[in-house]
């Protein structure tokens, strides 16, 4: 209850002067915690509306709704009054000067607009006066006229600010002033302060003991001047007999609050600072990335590596977006698009779609001149090469057709031709493909060659077999050898080995034949009984039996191939000995006696073979029977 614990008394006088209408208006409101005093001076001549009354009521209504001393609130009230005046200005421009004083019975604030004045007296002297919004006041502020002259200067009515001004309202808000017991606040319109000088006001203040006396005295002073025309005048006096005493502030509590506020400020401020620092760091990093990426992209573009340039321009553009650098974003977007066109062109070349490639390159060529890293000549060179690429692709296609038709030789020729052209024109993507195709064609040709040789070898082998049948062992060996060579050439080792056996067999047969032919008399002597058993007419059948016995011999050879091989010289030796001993039987027996153990072994082996042969012979005969 501030009002009850303070003593403020108010009185006012407001008259029309020598006019019918009083266009001044004063009203005040005292609530438990605050009081508001509003004085306005209507400046227009509208016959129906009273602008002063309108604005005072608007301001007081707002104050009643929510009493406040805040600047924001009071200025808002003033703006509402201004809007109301402008809304009602239909025929005449409604204007008013206004002064609003708000107090909490301890301190006061005021808002002024126009030339309604506030005088604050303390201890019988002027403490301060509000300033007018007039040209005279601005001249006084500039030091061109004395401050006292503002009440009489010709420009005192030339207002620079007032409510209802079509250019908007600009009021003055005075900060809180501490009130003291015995203070007197006087609110006066121009009708009062123009004709009552400050000295006269101070004189009236000295005499008056209450606001009623003061305002009455001021009116008397004004009227005593007996001007022919007396303007509307209003004077409102507020006597501050007792100021509301604020509770002494708890210093510890205050310090605590300050510390908490400080801490909150440090935390919030620190958070904000850290956030800002991070944002700045991120921005700096993004800027660095942008510059580096752009530099790299330019280098790639200069080097003609448009795929890498595209990637780098994209990174630079993203960095520009991060730092909200619209200019660079636009630049890198354009360069990225340009790179994309060139990459697309290269892609079309790889797919051999040269029409689309040319369209992409042409687009790129048109805009490349605007961006220095892009070499227009390089793009033109790409366009020029397209014909050569098309020709290469055509050859490759023809080669493919030949290849599909089995004409590997001609396909290979076309591939090689295309490959040469691709190398010359730098058509690297086609080059790789062509190399692959050349390899495939070569493989095909090699495979065919091998097959041919196999056939050739097969033929020789068959020939060898035929010759074996014809007992032409020499011819068979030659044929087999020929076939073996071919198989060796084509690395068919199994066939080589098989032929080796065939050759060995043929050689055996040949050897046996030769032996047979060369040792026939001695043989006959050694096996008379045998010969007795078989007549000479069966010689042919013996031969055939010998051939029929080949598998048995062969199996023996298989069983002891080394022995077989080892026996051959021994046999030959024996054979030669036999040949030598062919000169006489006695020699032969002595030779037998004189033969070494080794020879004996050879003999026994020979005998065993002979026995084996005889067994086979019997079997063949049995089979023959």
Exactly one of 331, 341, 349, 468 binds other proteins (CB under 8 A); that residue is: 331
Closer residue to other proteins, CB minimum distance, 229 or 596: 229
The binder of other proteins chosen from 3, 57, 71, 93 (CB under 8 A): 93
d(CA 256, CA 608): 130
**Separation CA 480–CA 192 (nearest Å):** 149
When the beta carbons of 21 and 598 are compared against other proteins, the nearer one is: 21
Tell whether residue 288 is a contact of other proteins (CB under 8 A).
no
Q: Please identify, using beta-carbon distances, which residue of 47 and 596 lies nearer to other proteins.
A: 47
For other proteins, the binding residues in 50-89 under the rule CB under 8 A are 89
Q: How many residues does the chain have?
A: 625
Applying CB under 8 A, the span of 107-115, 216-224, 325-333, 496-504 interacting with other proteins comes to: 325-333
**Distance separating alpha carbons of residues 424 and 430, to the nearest angstrom:** 12
Tokens of 61: 């209504």
- Contact present, 360 and 395 (Cβ < 8 Å): no
Query: Rounded to the nearest whole angstrom, what is the least distance from the CB of residue 347 to other proteins in the complex?
Result: 32
Q: How far is the CB of 47 from other proteins (least distance, A)?
A: 8
Per-position x/- string for 142-161, each x denoting binding to other proteins as judged by CB under 8 A, each - no binding: ------------xx--x-x-
In angstroms, rounded to a whole number, what is the distance separating the alpha carbons of residues 135 and 137?
5
Phi/psi of residue 183, nearest 5 degrees: -65, 150
Q: How far is the CB of 130 from other proteins (least distance, A)?
A: 22
90: contact with other proteins by CB under 8 A: yes
Looking at beta carbons only, is 160 or 498 nearer to other proteins?
160
Q: Is 225 an interacting residue with respect to other proteins (CB under 8 A)?
A: no
Give just the sign of the alpha carbon dihedral 619, 520, 561, 597: positive
Q: Is 499 exposed, middle or buried (0-12, 13-18, 19+ CB in 10 A)?
A: buried
Give the residue, chosen from 76, 91, 257, 381, that forms a contact with other proteins under the rule CB under 8 A.
91
Minimum Å gap between C-beta 228 and other proteins is 11
Q: Which is nearer to other proteins, 16 or 29 (CB)?
A: 16
Instruction: Tell me how far, at minimum, the Cβ of 52 lies from other proteins, in Å.
Output: 17
Nearer to other proteins, 100 or 139 (CB): 139
Instruction: Dig out the tokens for 270 from the structure.
Output: 């620190």
Window 165-194: residues binding other proteins (CB under 8 A) = 165-167
d(CA 185, CA 481): 142
Q: In b/e form, how buried is each residue of 19-56, taking b as 16+ CB within 10 angstroms?
A: eeebbbbbbbbbeeebbbbbbbbbbbebeebbbbbbbb
Contacts of 123 (CB under 8 A, 6+ apart): 182
Could you tell me the sign of the dihedral formed by the alpha carbons of 253, 254, 256, 261, in that order? positive
Considering the complex, what minimum distance in angstroms separates the CB of residue 155 from other proteins?
6
Looking at the Cβ atoms of 157 and 475, the one nearer to other proteins is: 157
> For every residue of 374-423, which 3-state class applies, written as one string?
CCHHHHHHHHHHHHHHHHHHHHHHHHHHHHHCCCHHHHHHHHHHHHHHHH
Residue selected from 1, 199, 327, 622 as contacting other proteins according to rule CB under 8 A: 327
* β-strand partners of 37: 28, 101
Kindly tell me which of 331 and 364 has the beta carbon lying closer to other proteins: 331
273: contact with other proteins by CB under 8 A: no
Residues 279, 283, 289, 293: what is their CA dihedral angle, to the nearest 10 degrees?
140
How many residues contact other proteins, by CB under 8 A? 23
Residues in region 94-133 near other proteins by CB under 8 A: 95
CA 40 to chain centre: 66
Cβ-based nearer residue to other proteins, 327 or 559: 327
Q: Is residue 29 near other proteins by the rule CB under 8 A?
A: no
Q: Among 223, 221, 189, which Cα is nearest to 205's?
A: 221
Single out the segment in contact with other proteins by CB under 8 A; choices: 17-25, 34-42, 121-129, 456-464: 17-25
19 sits near other proteins (criterion: CB under 8 A): yes
Q: Which stretch binds other proteins (CB under 8 A): 71-79, 105-113, 164-172, 394-402?
A: 164-172
Query: For other proteins, which is the closer residue by CB, 34 or 135?
Result: 135
Quick check: 21 binds other proteins (CB under 8 A)?
A: yes
Query: Binding segment for other proteins among 96-104, 323-331, 447-455, 549-557 (CB under 8 A)?
Result: 323-331
User: CA 3 from chain center: how many Å?
Assistant: 69
Strands (E) located in 387-533 = none
Q: How far apart are alpha carbons 100 and 36 in whole angstroms? A: 7
Provide the strand spans (E) within 168-307: 172-178, 183-188, 233-242
The minimum distance between CB 300 and other proteins, in angstroms, equals 20
Q: Which residues bind other proteins (CB under 8 A)?
A: 18-21, 45, 47, 89-93, 95, 135, 154-155, 158, 160, 165-167, 327-328, 331
């Amino acid at each position: 209850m501030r009002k009850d614990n303070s003593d403020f008394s108010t009185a006012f006088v407001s008259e029309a002067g020598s006019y019918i209408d009083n266009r001044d208006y004063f009203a005040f409101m005292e609530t438990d915690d605050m009081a508001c005093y509003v004085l306005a001076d209507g400046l227009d001549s509208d016959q129906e509306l009273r602008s002063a009354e309108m604005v005072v009521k608007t301001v007081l209504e707002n104050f009643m709704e929510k009493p406040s001393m805040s600047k924001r609130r009071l200025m808002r009230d003033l703006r509402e009054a201004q809007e109301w005046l402008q809304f009602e200005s239909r025929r005449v421009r409604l204007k008013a000067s206004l002064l609003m004083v708000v107090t909490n019975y301890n301190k006061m604030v005021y808002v002024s607009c126009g030339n309604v004045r506030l005088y604050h007296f303390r201890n019988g002297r002027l403490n301060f006066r509000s300033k007018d919004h007039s040209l005279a006041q601005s001249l006084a502020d500039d030091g061109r006229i004395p401050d006292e002259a503002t009440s009489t200067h010709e420009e005192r009515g030339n207002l620079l600010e007032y409510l209802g001004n079509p250019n908007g309202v600009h009021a003055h808000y005075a900060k809180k002033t501490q009130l003291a017991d015995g203070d007197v606040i006087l609110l006066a319109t121009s009708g009062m302060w123009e004709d009552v000088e400050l000295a006269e006001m101070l004189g009236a203040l000295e005499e008056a003991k209450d606001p009623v006396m003061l305002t009455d005295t001021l009116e008397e002073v004004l009227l005593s001047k007996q001007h022919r025309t007396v303007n509307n005048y209003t004077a409102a006096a507020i006597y501050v007999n007792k100021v509301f005493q604020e509770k002494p502030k708890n210093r510890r509590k205050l310090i605590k609050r300050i510390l908490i506020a400080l801490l909150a400020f440090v935390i919030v401020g620190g958070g904000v600072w850290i956030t800002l620092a991070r944002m700045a760091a991120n921005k700096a990093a993004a800027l660095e990335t942008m510059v580096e990426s752009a530099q790299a992209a330019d280098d790639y573009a200069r080097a003609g590596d448009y795929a890498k340039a595209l990637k780098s321009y994209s990174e630079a553009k993203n960095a520009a977006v991060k730092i909200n650098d619209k200019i660079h974003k636009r630049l890198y977007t354009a360069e990225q698009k340009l790179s994309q066109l060139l990459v697309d062109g290269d892609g079309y070349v790889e797919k051999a779609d040269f029409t689309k490639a040319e369209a992409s390159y042409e687009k790129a060529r048109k805009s490349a001149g605007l961006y220095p890293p892009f070499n227009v000549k390089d793009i033109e060179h790409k366009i020029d090469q397209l014909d050569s690429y098309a020709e290469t692709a055509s050859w490759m296609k023809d080669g493919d057709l030949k290849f599909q038709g089995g004409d590997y030789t001609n396909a290979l020729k076309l591939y090689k031709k295309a490959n040469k052209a691709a190398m010359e024109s730098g058509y690297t993507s086609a080059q790789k493909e062509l190399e692959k195709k050349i390899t495939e064609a070569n493989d095909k040709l090699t495979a065919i060659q091998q097959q041919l040789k196999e056939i050739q070898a097969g033929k020789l082998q068959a020939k060898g077999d035929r010759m074996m049948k014809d007992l032409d062992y020499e011819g068979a060996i030659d044929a087999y050898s020929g076939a073996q060579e071919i198989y060796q050439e084509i690395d068919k080792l199994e066939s080589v080995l098989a032929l080796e056996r065939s050759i060995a067999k043929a050689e055996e047969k040949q050897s046996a034949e030769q032996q047979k032919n060369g040792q026939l008399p001695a043989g006959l002597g050694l096996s008379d009984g045998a010969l007795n058993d078989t007549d000479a007419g069966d010689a042919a059948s013996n031969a055939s039996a010998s051939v029929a016995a080949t598998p048995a011999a062969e199996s023996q050879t298989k069983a002891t191939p080394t022995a077989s091989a080892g026996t051959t010289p021994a046999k030959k030796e024996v054979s030669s000995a036999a040949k030598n001993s062919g000169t006489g039987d006695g020699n032969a027996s002595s030779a037998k006696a004189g033969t070494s153990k080794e020879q004996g072994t050879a003999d026994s082996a020979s005998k065993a073979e002979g026995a084996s042969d005889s067994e086979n012979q019997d079997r063949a005969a049995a089979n023959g029977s």
